[in-house]
Structure 1
Amino acid sequence: MTKPNHNPHTDHFHVDLSWEGALQPSPLFAGGVPGFGAGAVAAPVGQTRSPSNPAATPVPATGIKHRPVEFVRLFGPYAKASEAKTGVPGLVTLAQAAVESGWGARAAGNNFFGIKARASDAPDTRQLWRTREVLSRPDIRSFPEVISVTLRADGRYTYVVKDWFRVFASPELAFVSHGALLRRNKRYAKAFQYQKDPYSFMAEVAKAGYATDPNYAKVVQSVMRRLEQSGWN
């Protein structure tokens, strides 16, 4: 973690709330999230495009926590469009989007996957978010701002920081960019042997180091089952 990168979780893991909060939709985040970046969740940027699927619904607003049924309806077409372009199973993409964004509540700038930006990127393509990182050392200072560092029971450290994240012109671009990251990164090559088996695909992505949380695969797979129960097909 000496330099920011564009990969979502190649050597770290970040969340804004608990996994329970991500898994259990509630009205708590019907609006902006206080303390998220400079304040409430920013308005989405340039939402003018619709997914490649001609039957897709209009581009939805972000910054709202959706119920699973709504999440499938609103964002499922983008996951399917990404699958057609990148080969990443749509169910995996949609579940990761739900987990990483808190069912859409934390998707400012259409960034559903916590994809990082560089400080040197153009101002209109990056945004500063408050987030959490789990790292192995207490002395890392490569973030724009380190708010706190706390020792964990497992010997690692929880950082509360502000860092740069990507801004996307539309949800479709965010979903395809996520798929492209997995497709072009060699560490995830084995996962693509399981394109017809989304659950095994997700297990291989986690094994390859997508997140440092040892329960990440189980969390995402749990959301995958919930999405299937909520109308994904």
Structure 2
Amino acid sequence: MKSKKLLVSLATLLLTTGAALPVFSNINSVKADATVQQHEAPLVQNSKIGQGFYSPSQKLALPNPMLRTDPSIFFNSIKQGAVDTWKKHNFLPSVTAAQAAIESGWGTSGLTTAANNLFGIKGRYNGQYIVFPTQEWVNGHYVTINAEFRKYPNWATSVEDHGNFFTDNERYHNLLGVKDYKQVAKLVQQDGYATDPNYAATIIRVIEQYGLQNWDQEAFINTSVPKPAQSESTARVTVNSTFGYRSSGAQMSGTNNVFKKGTNWKVNGFKMINGQEMLLVGGDEYIPRKDTTIDNSILEINYYSNLTVNTYKKDGTLAPNKLKTGTKWKNSGFTTIKGQVMYQVGRDVYLPKLYTQFGASGPKPAQSESTARITVNSTFGYRSSGAQMSGTNNVFKKGTNWKVCGLKMINGQEMILVGGDEYIPRKDTTIDNRVVEVNYIPGQSVPTYKLDGTMAIDKLKNGTKWKNGGFRMINNEQMYQVSTNEYLPKKFTQFGHVDF
């Protein structure tokens, strides 16, 4: 399910703005169905409520739990699917449940009762669908047609499919893994899921009224990723006894009477000896890592749910293999590549340690810049010359989506190319970058540069935020100005991604 990408020119927009295909759906076909009851009110898109199709009378408000469904029955029916959303997608169960209640009218909407479709999603699910009348914008006016909507076997499945939406759309990746339901609710609204200014507040009120935050705590148990890095400071021997070795590879006679099962040893370093990784536990005394509690013979990818990490060749170039979170790989030893420890997991395929159970998980996924949604009531378009395009504020309205074709500094601010020579201010969209955040390895810092390409004095720590004064091309890469003659490479921000 990919986000619907709207138009690249004003002319195209005037023909299609308001078309009823939701961002959820990758199904473009609709067809008539004589079995639809003609007295049913057509479903319509309502960006205030969310991404799907809803009854024309439905409004964003706290659901009325006494309307037809007892709240405990409703929540019990979706709880497992919501909790699984955290395990599969790293999206909070409490927010999922609140959205389900809000968008389905507490389970009373026509789509919910007929097709277990809680979120008004068009298309088919495993080939299953139901036909409902919808109002869509065609040739300058609304017409009623019959369209396919996903039909689910139960509410839990609808909830789980809703989780797919957040991992399939990169603009929501900034909220995956966030554990604070208030922050997630605000990010959902900020990222453009719904346009009603009270959307986040409504989600939070539902969560707190029904104690849905307790679901989050249940989901966190043994499912949170990335997991904290496993400590390598102390090793406990797990076999009956093991021998010690010198760095030369010579076995130390009698040391099996010292390195016995259950004894603990402070780890002072690591080295490959006799084809296996050893732990330095004395001046020149090493023990096999595989014989301890910090055995790394099997490596697990420790990153974000449903996402993958890069691997490398020994020469430092990218390998074609991408490894998914949670998968496990046999370790054939380590080496240092590009200044970082990497484990060999295939023939000339090396996995950075920071993406394993012994690493710090690395940078967050880059925020997508492929599509921009207008976040202000309206904004003007501009030519590359800097001239404002008269009347375009009636086209570039709040909630409309635009395919990003390029970026350019115009009139002292960054603009987004959305047509042949049509630009809109980046600051007026969901990919606003007036504040940039350093996205790197937890606890580490990144370099900054001067305009002449030499390194600046300051290093900026991961997670810190900086005001962006515009971008320049320095050393053949895009950098943001964060101070006088001090530039931060884009690859180290929320809009870039480096593995280390």
**Number of the residue aligned with 1:12:** 47
Deviation, structure 1 residue 95? 0.7
| 1:23 matches 2:63 | yes
Aligned length: 172
1:216 has 2:202 as partner: no
Q: Report the 3-state secondary structure (helix = DSSP H, G, I; strand = E; otherwise coil) of the residue aligned with 1:102.
A: coil
CA distances 1:32-58 after superposition (whole Å, capped 9, x unpaired): xxxxxxxxxxxxxxxxxxxxxxxxxxx
Q: Which runs of 5+ in 1 are unaligned?
A: 31-65, 146-161
Greater fraction of residues in strand: 2
Distance 2:187 2:60 in 1: 20
In the alignment, residue 66 of structure 2 is paired with which amino acid? S
Summarize deviations over 1:134-188 as a string: whole Å, max 9, x none: x9xx9454x644xxxxxxxxxxxxxxxx754211233232111111111120111
Structure 1 residues 128-147: aligned runs within 5 Å:
128-129=131-132, 139-141=140-142, 144-145=144-145
Q: Structure 1 residue 80: deviation in Å?
A: 0.7
Change in Cα spacing, 1:230 to 1:11, as seen in structure 2 (3 Å) is closer
CA distance in 1: counterparts of 2:98 and 2:76, whole angstroms: 13
Alignment of 1:55-134 (within 5 A): 66-106=69-109, 107=112, 108-117=114-123, 125-129=128-132
1:192 has 2:176 as partner: yes
Q: Report the equivalent of 2:159.
A: 175
* CA spacing shift, 1:210–1:80, aligned 2, 3 Å: same
Find the counterpart in structure 1 of residue 418 from structure 2.
none
- Structure with greater Cα Rg: 2
TM-score (norm 1): 0.60
d(CA) in 1 for partners of 2:129 and 2:203? Answer: 26
The one-letter code matched in structure 2 to 1:4 is L
Runs (4 or more) in structure 1 with deviation over 6 Å come to: none
Structure 1 residues 83 and 123, CA gap change in structure 2 (3 angstroms): closer
- Name whichever of 103-112 and 90-99 sits farther off: 103-112
Task: Give 1:231 deviation, angstroms.
Answer: 7.3
Distance 1:225 1:15, change over 3 A: farther
8 Å contact 1:72–1:231 — kept in the other structure? no
1:165 corresponds to 2:149: yes
How many angstroms apart in 2 are the aligned matches of 1:166 and 1:82?
A: 19
Question: CA offsets per residue over residues 51-100 of structure 1, 9 Å max, x none?
Answer: xxxxxxxxxxxxxxx23222222221221122211111110111111111
CA contact (8 A) 2:185 2:204 kept: yes
**TM-score, with length taken from structure 2:** 0.30
**Are the equivalent residues in 1 in contact too, given 2:60–2:199 (CA < 8 A)?**
no
Identity %: 27
**8 Å contact kept, 1:80–1:90:** yes
Higher relative CO (Cα under 8 Å, sequence separation at least 6) belongs to 1
Q: Deviation string for 1:178-218 (max 9, x for gaps)?
A: 11111120111111252x11221121011111112222111
